Structure 1
Amino acid sequence: MTAHRPQARRAAPLRCLVTAVLAALLAVTACSGADQDTADAAPRDAQGPADPEHNAADVAFVQAMVARHREAVALAEAAAPRAESAAVRALAERIAASQGPDVATMTGWLDDWGEDAPATDDDGGGDGALSDRAFLTGMIDRHRDAVDLAGAELAEGVHRPARELARAVVTTRTAEIGEMTALLAGD
């Protein structure tokens, strides 16, 4: 039995090393399965941990998008019945139909967060003649602003639904910019 003791003493450090390696592998494996949106999440505010539900970037994004969406809906609703082109009319109707419900969703988020929604602009955007070209150029500018705002949300926001909206904004608005640019080129 004494012959086995030196071997047992040499095995103890090896067991400790194996245990440490296994513990490290388990920790790495557990962390690698973390939720992907956590990896996408922006850093927390320097003043302390942010509310896990939303942060200042989310509020700024949503407030700005509510204002932009309202403007876009008003412009689209004014342009649709006056459109010279069937393609412009269809685009205007699609924009009004898609962005209107988003306003309700985003104002709901703001209400839940105890934040104010931007004041409604009552002019409706419908005064005066609105040519297809004026509608398209105005909407391209609004869409580019929306894409920029969405990029800021994706870089800094933490509210998962707002981030999902931002991703959708980038995708849809970029496609619509291409569509509107093509319509302008066809003038």
Structure 2
Amino acid sequence: MSASLPSAARRRTLAAAGTVAALALALTACGSSDSSKPDGPATPGTNHGPSNATSSGTPSPGGAFNDADVTFAQQMIPHHQQAIEMARLADGRAADSEVKSLATAIEKAQDPEINTMNGWLKSWGKPLPSASSPMGDMPGMNHGSSGMAGMNHGSSGMAGMMSDQDMNDLKSAKGKDFDKKFAQLMIGHHQGAVTMAKGEQKNGSNPDAKRLAGNVIAAQNAEIEQMNKIVDRLK
């Protein structure tokens, strides 16, 4: 006797097998889709990713902030800007290779920190320092027409800022004279930044701002030590 099923019965068997296979594929597809979804219901317009970046791509600081955090950013931005201005003067003026390398390192380190702090102020809805009025609209700050280079500790409330005369003296110096002036002035400038950063660590509340302050303290104290050695060497 033949082992094959009658034609009608065979068709019913094949149809049933096809249905089971299709159901299995559908269940597999559902399982794969569900595993890629985040836990919990999604809210339209809500970012469920780990990033806390602003629309400009600059990381915004996590957690709450207070007035000390805002003041730290608003003051450290022009402070860093002046350090970069000083560092750029080394091109064509500095003779010492260590001074040249240090000037490059200062610019590379502080420019990204300026961008970071600008991003914080934007995300906090606070005014940015401007070139014509570096301290923004903060009360008690000098808003004279001399600009960033003219702000010293007495007129701006920021320790270590160079005066117009300091900057002009540095611009007019060359060779070994520039190297010595640069190191001496930058030591005082860095010491001012360290003082400001310590104030942020003491009075600020935002963890990212306090972390940046810690980085400033560590990096600039190391450069102060290096520049003291340069000054001793160039005597």
TM-score when normalising by structure 1: 0.68
Which has the greater radius of gyration? Answer: 2
Shift of 1:155: 0.4
**How far has the Cα of 1:73 moved from its partner?**
0.6
Question: For residue 89 of structure 1, what is the amino acid of its counterpart?
Answer: K
1:42 equivalent in structure 2: none
Query: C-alpha distance in 2, partners of 1:169/1:81?
Result: 28
Q: Secondary structure at the match of 2:199?
A: helix
**Aligned with residue 62 of structure 1, among 73, 85, 89:** 73
- Count of aligned pairs: 136
Distance 1:114 1:134 in 2: 39
Distance 2:80 2:91 in 1: 16
The answer to whether the 8 A contact 2:84-2:111 is kept is yes
Q: How does 1:99-138 map to 2 (within 5 A)?
A: 99-120=110-131, 121=147, 127-129=171-173, 131-138=178-185
Q: Helix, strand or coil for the counterpart of 1:137? A: helix
Cα separation, partners in 2 of 1:122 and 1:150, compared to 1, 3 Å: closer
Q: 1:65 to 1:85 in 2, by over 3 A?
A: same
Q: Which residue of 2 aligns with 1:151?
A: 198
Q: Which ranges in structure 1 are unaligned for 5 or more consecutive residues?
A: 1-51
CA contact under 8 A between 1:81 and 1:89: conserved in structure 2? Answer: no
Per-residue CA deviations over 1:148-176 (Å, capped at 9, x if unaligned) read: 00110000101111101000111011000
- Give yes or no for contact 2:70–2:121 (8 Å, CA) kept in 1: yes
For 1:128, the aligned partner's letter is S
User: What residue number does 2:225 align with?
Assistant: 178
Looking at secondary structure, tell me which structure has more helix per residue: 1
Residue 122 of structure 1 and its aligned partner are, at CA, apart by: 7.5
Whether contact under 8 Å (1:80, 1:93) holds in the other structure is: no
Q: Give 1:136 shift.
A: 0.8
Look up the SS of the partner of 2:78 in the other structure. Answer: helix
Displacement of 1:180 after TM fit?
A: 0.3
Give the superposed CA RMSD.
1.9
TM-score (norm 2): 0.54
Specify every segment of 5 or more residues in structure 2 that has no aligned partner in the other structure, as ranges.
Answer: 1-62, 132-146, 150-166
The answer as to whether partners of 1:62 and 1:106 remain within 8 angstroms in 2 is yes
C-alpha displacement of 1:109: 0.5
Structure 1 window deviating more from structure 2 (145-154 vs 128-137): it is 128-137
Is contact 2:69–2:200 with CA below 8 Å preserved after alignment?
Answer: yes
Return the letter of the residue paired with 2:211.
Answer: E
Higher relative contact order (CA 8 A, sep 6+): 1
